[in-house]
């Protein structure tokens, strides 16, 4: 009789099963509602040899060396730094909206003023959820928040979840913050990549 049962074979379930089997030397049964391992990070090669990310592309990223080293036992990496551009009034603009985005869409005098106020209020290299930016009480920052809200968050959120951003849990809207930085990468973690063979 097997005494270890793992329900779900995403990252957590697969990691726990591996550790039980290799470190405790015990049998483990893993079950999942899906017919494959990997959870929502599952990918496969189609008949043309193209790697398909069934549930959308996922990039592995962490600041923890021990996590990176653990996962690196199972794959070599294609180094990859994810950047996203959104089409705003005919321009491709860095997303999350950052200082580069501000300088791209606003005249220099307005962009400089907004940059100064953001840094004074929140600091540099800080991520601020859009709803927090809207509640600052500063008319210029609220103008920026309303601009970003309308141009980026409102329609994306309606399309993605069928809800307005303010009706979502703040943890969800916080995932796509305003980034007070000039770093256009989507993630800032030290270790980033996509498994070389999927």
CA dist 114 and 101 (Å) reads 11
Number of CB atoms found within 10 A of residue 158's CB: 12
Cβ distance 190 to 106 under 8 Å?
no
Q: Are residues 110 and 25 in the same domain?
A: no
3-state secondary structure the chain: CCCCEEECCCHHHHHHHHHHHHHCCCCCEEECCCCCCCHHHCEEECCCCCEEECCCCCCEEECCHHHHHHHCCCCCEEECCCEEEEEECCEEEEECCEHHHHHHHCCHHHHHHHHHHHHHHHCCCEEECHHHHHCCCCHHHHHHHHHHHHHHHHHHHHHHHCCCHHHCCHHHHCCCCEEECCCCECCCCCEEEEECCC
| 79, 97, 120 - which closes a domain | 79
Q: Are residues 146 and 90 in the same domain?
A: yes
* pLDDT for res 171: 65
The residue whose two tokens read 């913050």 is 177
| Number of domains within the chain | 2
163 pLDDT exceeds 90?
no
The whole-model pTM stands at: 0.77
137 pLDDT exceeds 90?
yes
Looking at the domain assignment, is residue 66 inside a domain? yes
Looking at 32-36, 45-49, 114-118, 144-148, which range is the least confident one?
A: 144-148
The boundaries of the domain holding residue 142 are 84-180
Cβ distance 17 to 6 under 8 Å?
yes
Looking at the domain assignment, is residue 98 inside a domain? yes
Question: Over the stretch 28-85, which tens digit does the pLDDT of each residue have?
Answer: 999 999 999 999 999 999 999 999 999 988 899 999 999 999 999 999 999 999 999 9
Q: Are residues 173 and 125 in the same domain?
A: yes
* pLDDT for res 170: 65
Q: Are residues 118 and 175 in the same domain?
A: yes
CATH code, domain with 56: 3.40.50.720
149 pLDDT exceeds 90?
no
Q: How far is CA 101 from CA 1, 132, 165, 178, in A?
A: 59, 19, 21, 10
Q: Are residues 13 and 27 in the same domain?
A: yes
**Total residue count of the chain as it appears in this document:** 198
């Amino acid at each position: 009789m097997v005494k270890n049962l793992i329900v779900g074979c995403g990252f957590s379930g697969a990691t726990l099963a591996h550790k039980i089997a290799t470190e405790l030397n015990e049998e483990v049964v893993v079950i999942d509602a899906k017919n494959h391992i990997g959870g929502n990070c599952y990918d496969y090669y189609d008949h043309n040899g193209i790697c398909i990310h069934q549930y959308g592309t996922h990039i592995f990223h962490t600041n923890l060396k021990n996590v990176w080293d653990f996962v690196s036992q199972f794959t070599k990496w294609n180094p990859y730094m994810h950047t996203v551009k959104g089409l705003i009034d005919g321009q491709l603009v860095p997303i999350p909206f950052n200082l580069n985005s501000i300088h791209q869409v606003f005249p220099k005098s307005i962009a400089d003023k907004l940059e100064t106020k953001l840094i004074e209020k929140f600091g540099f290299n800080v991520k601020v959820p859009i709803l927090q930016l809207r509640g600052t009480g500063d008319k210029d920052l609220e103008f920026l928040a309303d601009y970003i809200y309308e141009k980026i968050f409102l329609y994306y959120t309606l399309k993605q979840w069928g809800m307005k951003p303010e009706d979502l849990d703040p943890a969800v809207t916080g995932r796509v913050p305003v980034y007070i930085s000039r770093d256009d990468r989507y993630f800032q973690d030290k270790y980033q990549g996509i498994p070389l063979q999927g």
